């Protein structure tokens, strides 16, 4: 079983547990708990998006260092192929852990050893990165190499641009950190109150789980809660 399958199983189990918990907490019914499993595909998609966002952040941080290594090699007069190999070696010997980018550079070097053209290898890397800025950097680098442009200047400009964007994103994250904490606390409060009331005063809460009016109220509350969750996530999802 590979890592993707393990993550899929883990996300599915978490989604099933969350769906059953929501169904039971809002309706106190086995049927609605089972119907809550319908959120599993959405939960899997959400977790996949969060992992992809985390991967892109790591990729950006690592690519900034890689661009500096590439600049050092090309500024010393080395070719782009040699700079890529040197960067791969530097990553292996570095104290930092390049979990995302090192396998990509190892793959690039392997393809170069197989006499594949540098342009096709870099294009494959740009596609796998799924990042517009890296894809743009690869296109500019390829054109500059063909036309005889200054590779070291292009790489240095790219590194400076990425550093600037990372600083801006870091400032935004610092500003939003407190708001995200408040948002998470506010998300915990409603289900926390429901759990507390169900444990301590279950008879008092029966009206919300037996009559039609109570079920409609719980449904409306669940819809408002879901809308608040989605809206808060969109508002706080700011990046440059």
- The verdict on residue 98 lying in a domain is yes
pLDDT at 1: 66
- The tens place of each residue's pLDDT in the chain, 240 residues long, gives 677 888 888 989 999 999 998 888 888 888 888 888 889 999 999 899 888 888 888 888 888 888 888 888 888 887 888 888 988 898 888 877 788 888 888 999 999 888 888 888 888 988 888 888 788 888 888 887 777 767 788 888 877 887 788 788 788 888 888 888 888 898 899 889 888 888 888 788 888 888 888 889 999 999 999 998 888 888 887 765
Burial of 26 (0-12, 13-18, 19+ CB in 10 A): buried
- The verdict on residue 148 lying in a domain is yes
**Residues in the chain, overall count:** 240
**Spatial CB neighbours of 117, under 8 Å, sequence gap ≥ 6:** none
CATH code assigned at 121 = 1.20.81
Q: And the tokens for 81?
A: 């192929």
CB burial of 6-19 (b: ≥16 within 10 Å; e: otherwise) equals eeeeebbeebbeeb
Question: Which pTM does this prediction carry?
Answer: 0.76
Which run of H or of E encompasses 112?
helix 101-113
Give the 3-state secondary structure of residue 123: helix
Compute the distance between CA of residue 202 and CA of residue 194 in angstroms, rounded to an integer. Answer: 10
- The verdict on residue 34 lying in a domain is no
The CB-side HSE value for 116 (13 A sphere, CA atoms) comes to 14
pLDDT at 223: 93
How many other β-carbons are positioned within 10 Å of the β-carbon of residue 189? 9
Question: In 3-state terms, the chain is what percent helix, strand and coil (to 5)?
Answer: 85, 0, 15
Residue with tokens 């500096």: 68
pLDDT at 239: 64
- The verdict on residue 206 lying in a domain is no
pLDDT at 224: 92
- The verdict on residue 60 lying in a domain is yes
Q: What is the DSSP letter of 37?
A: G
pLDDT at 13: 92
pLDDT at 163: 77
- The verdict on residue 174 lying in a domain is no
pLDDT at 92: 86
- The verdict on residue 226 lying in a domain is no
- The verdict on residue 145 lying in a domain is yes
**Structural domain tally of the chain?**
1
Give the 3-state secondary structure of residue 117: coil
Structural domain for 135, as ranges: 55-166
């Amino acid at each position: 079983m590979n890592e993707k399958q393990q993550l899929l199983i883990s996300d599915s189990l978490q989604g099933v547990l969350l769906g059953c918990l929501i169904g039971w907490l809002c309706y106190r019914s086995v049927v609605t708990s089972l119907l809550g499993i319908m959120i599993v595909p959405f939960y899997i998609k959400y977790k996949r998006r969060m992992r992809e966002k985390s991967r892109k952040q790591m990729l950006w941080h690592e690519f900034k260092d890689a661009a500096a290594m590439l600049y050092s090699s090309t500024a010393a007069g080395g070719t782009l192929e040699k700079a890529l190999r040197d960067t791969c070696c530097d990553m292996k010997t570095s104290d930092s852990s390049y979990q995302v980018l090192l396998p990509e550079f190892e793959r690039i070097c392997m393809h170069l050893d197989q006499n594949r053209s540098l342009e096709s290898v870099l294009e494959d890397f740009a596609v796998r990165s799924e990042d517009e800025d890296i894809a743009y950097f690869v296109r500019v680098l390829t054109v500059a190499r063909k036309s005889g442009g200054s590779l070291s200047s292009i790489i240095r400009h790219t590194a400076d641009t990425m550093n600037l964007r990372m600083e801006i994103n870091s400032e935004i994250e610092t500003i939003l950190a407190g708001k995200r904490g408040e948002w998470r606390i506010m998300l915990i409060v409603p289900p926390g109150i429901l759990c507390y009331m169900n444990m301590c005063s279950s008879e008092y809460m029966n009206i919300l789980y037996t009559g039609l009016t109570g079920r409609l109220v719980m449904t409306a509350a669940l819809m408002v809660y879901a809308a608040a969750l989605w809206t808060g996530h969109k508002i706080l999802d700011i990046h440059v």
